[in-house]
Structure 1
Amino acid sequence: MTDLVTRNPADAARGLSRRSVMKGAAWSVPVIVASAAAPMAVASVNNAGLAWTSSNTGLLTLGILDSASLVTAQTLVTVPTQLTITNGSGAISGESATVQITVGRPSGIPITVGRARGFGVRQFDGASTPSGSRTATYQSAPIVGQFGFPLTTYSTTVPVTIAANGSLNIPVQFGLAGNSTGLTIAALADFPVTTIVTIGGRTLTAATTISVPVGAGIL
């Protein structure tokens, strides 16, 4: 005896519909994954931080920018020496970072005539900084001309790759900027250092100080 099996056309149609849905879902998964993966690089930059993490204090010998001359401090001078970018979850890979380091004028030291030296970036990440990457600006006035301390900036663009939860240490060497007319600085001179790093559309900032006590003889 032969059993006859009958199939409801509606069931067959439903089977095709389910297969069609499954095929559609399989094709849609990579699209979702791809769109979800794109923000990871942005998210990693959003977790990044910037700080000065090392400094040097001593009777330092400092180079004068764009010169072979060296000046040795007679009292203990403190300068920052290492800039660190820290990363959170998600790697930063091949991002282009714009770096700007500004050394301001010390406050509380009024100079109306004559010039003193300030500080600028002499080396960044082990390489000497070209003169075109730096500026040094004195205040100026009629008759007396330029006076006071210079405000300096250094700008560069570097590629940045940092593993997830890793860090990138960048050595920075400061030198003396501008020129001196022989002024005697009879007060502690604290030069504010402001650093701005723009990476992946986000701006990171860090601040520190270069400290020059009375009697250092380098300004």
Structure 2
Amino acid sequence: MTEDSQHSTGFSRRTIMKGAAWSVPVVAAVVATPLAAASITPTSVAWTGTSTSLATLQLLDGGGTLSAQALVTLPTEFSIRNGSSARTAEIATISVTVGRPAGINIPVGRARGFGVQSVNGVTTTAGERTATYQTAPIVGQFGFPLTTWTGTRTITIASDGTLVMPIAFGLAGTSTGVAVSALASFPVTLNVTLGADTYTAVSSVTVPVGAGIL
């Protein structure tokens, strides 16, 4: 009886040490969890909206408007996703370049391209925009224009917050009445500079045959 009683209630030193060793990883896992939860997405920009419609677009070089006769797809907004530090009344330098559509050759005469008409509700100025055609002897300017817009906007974004900025495009350059008989896809490159860092996103403007705006 005495031996059975002592055997059932005692613990060996080896049993105690094994229990202590197993408890250490459990404590370490609990401590590490808040570190993973505290991670924050780095700053980035992205195109976040498009519209496909029979758009009526402003003529940026000459005045007036022109309405598409077929569905045109245009970017309508971009977003700035902030990192860990809040930005208050910070100046952002924004640049948008609209390239020439690939695969469409116009050796003589000019067609219109696209330029930025407004950003975040503020109309762009002629001094902020450029529209550059290719040139050649005798024929002069030809093809589609390469357009750029560069300007500044004041932004405020909370830590890990997102700012959505609407953008509107218009028609840039001038047309000599050349026929565009293929789908035209104009590459659009956005650059946003905040301090010493520049963030980039790409999109496109798509114009089908028969739209009648180029």
User: Structure 1 residue 118 and structure 2 residue 113: aligned?
Assistant: yes
Distance 1:126 1:94 in 2: 17
The match for 1:181 is 176
| Residue 80 of structure 1 pairs with residue 75 of structure 2 | yes
* Shift of residue 66, structure 1, vs aligned partner: 4.2
Distance 1:68 1:139 in 2: 23
Of residues 149, 153, 156, the one that matches 2:148 is 153
1:111 aligned partner, one-letter code: I
- Deviations 1:27-58 (Å, cap 9, x if unpaired)? xxxxxxxxxxxxxxxxx8x9211011001101
Alpha carbons of structure 1 residues 180 and 66: separation in structure 2 relative to 1, 3 Å:
closer
Q: Judge which range, 84-93 or 185-194, deviates more.
A: 84-93
Deviations 1:77-108 (A, max 9, x none): 00001011011333122322111100000000
Q: Which runs of 4+ in 1 moved over 3 A?
A: none
C-alpha separation in 1, matches of 2:190 and 2:80? 12
State the Cα RMSD in Å. Answer: 1.4
AA matched with 2:148 = T
Paired residue for 2:127?
Answer: 132
In the alignment, structure 1 segments of 5+ residues that lack a partner are 1-43
TM-score, scaled to structure 2:
0.79
Superposition deviation, residue 186 in structure 1: 0.4
State the partner residue of 1:31: none
Matches of 2:193 and 2:63 in 1, distance apart?
32
Identity of aligned residues (%): 57
- Helix, strand or coil at the partner of 2:166: strand
Q: Equivalents in 1 of 2:125, 2:153: separation in Å? A: 14
Letter in 2 for 1:64: L
Question: 2:31 matched to 1:63?
Answer: no
Aligned with residue 191 of structure 1, among 186, 194, 198: 186
1:105 paired with 2:116, answer no
3-state SS in 2 of match to 1:132: helix
Q: Is the 8 A contact 2:71 2:208 kept in 1?
A: yes
Q: Secondary structure at the match of 2:206?
A: strand
Deviation at residue 192 of structure 1 after TM alignment: 0.3
Question: Which residue type is aligned with residue 82 of structure 2?
Answer: N
Instruction: Encode CA deviations 1:158-190: one digit per residue, 9 max, x unaligned.
Output: 222100121111111000000000011000000
Which amino acid letter does the alignment assign opposite residue 97 of structure 1?
A: A
Worse overlay, 83-92 or 194-203: 83-92
Instruction: Give the distance between the partners of 1:125 and 1:189, measured in 2 at CA.
Output: 26
The equivalent residue for 1:217 is 212
Counterpart-to-counterpart distance in 1, 2:138 and 2:66: 30
Paired residues of 2:61 and 2:173 also in contact (CA < 8 A) = no
Q: Which moved more, 1:183-192 or 1:160-169?
A: 160-169
